[in-house]
């Protein structure tokens, strides 16, 4: 398994670098591209998304769900298309954290988006919302670890 750099899974480190090298306009374009690539929910989850944990800190309704298999967590997001910033962040988190264990999710620095330069192009309110998405992912990781029996 590839090692993590600064607590960040390798796939997320690549995304951070892509954003870091982009100018401000390109950062926004990248977020929109990620927004467009947020996977649709499987039918079995679409039917129960109203029971998901909500990220109350976001202005838009953001639902998050985690499933575990083989010691790894898979996250799912329900976010309206009218919220492209948080959709983009959720999508890049899905790609960057895919195949991560709960322990690896917990190691991701809460402010890793600063290295990406997102604070230059997003309002503090939006940054608060995307920080909350990661915080919820971490809470779900802790809940999974606490619920494990060994």
Could you list the active site residues?
58
Q: Where are the alpha helices (DSSP H) in 80-123?
A: 84-97, 102-107, 112-116
- Can you spell out the DSSP letters for 56-68? TTSSS--EEEEEE
Backbone angles phi, psi at 149, to 5 degrees: -115, 135
Record the tokens describing residue 97, joined without a space.
Answer: 């954290």
Neighbours of 130 (CB within 10 A): 24
- CB–CB of 31/18 below 8 Å? no
């Amino acid at each position: 398994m590839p090692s993590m750099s600064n607590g960040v899974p390798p796939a997320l480190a690549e995304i951070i670098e892509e954003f870091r090298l982009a100018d401000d306009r390109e950062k926004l374009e990248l977020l929109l591209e990620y927004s467009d690539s947020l996977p649709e929910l499987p039918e079995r989850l679409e039917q129960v998304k109203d029971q998901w944990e909500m990220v109350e800190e976001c202005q838009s309704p953001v639902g998050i769900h985690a499933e575990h298999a083989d010691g790894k967590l898979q996250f799912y997001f329900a976010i309206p298309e009218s919220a492209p910033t948080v959709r983009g962040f959720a999508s890049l988190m899905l790609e960057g954290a895919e195949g991560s264990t709960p322990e690896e999710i917990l190691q991701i620095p809460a402010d890793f988006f600063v290295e990406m330069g997102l604070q230059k192009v997003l309002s503090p309110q939006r940054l608060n919302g995307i920080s909350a998405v990661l915080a919820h992912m971490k809470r779900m990781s802790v809940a999974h670890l606490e619920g494990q029996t060994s």
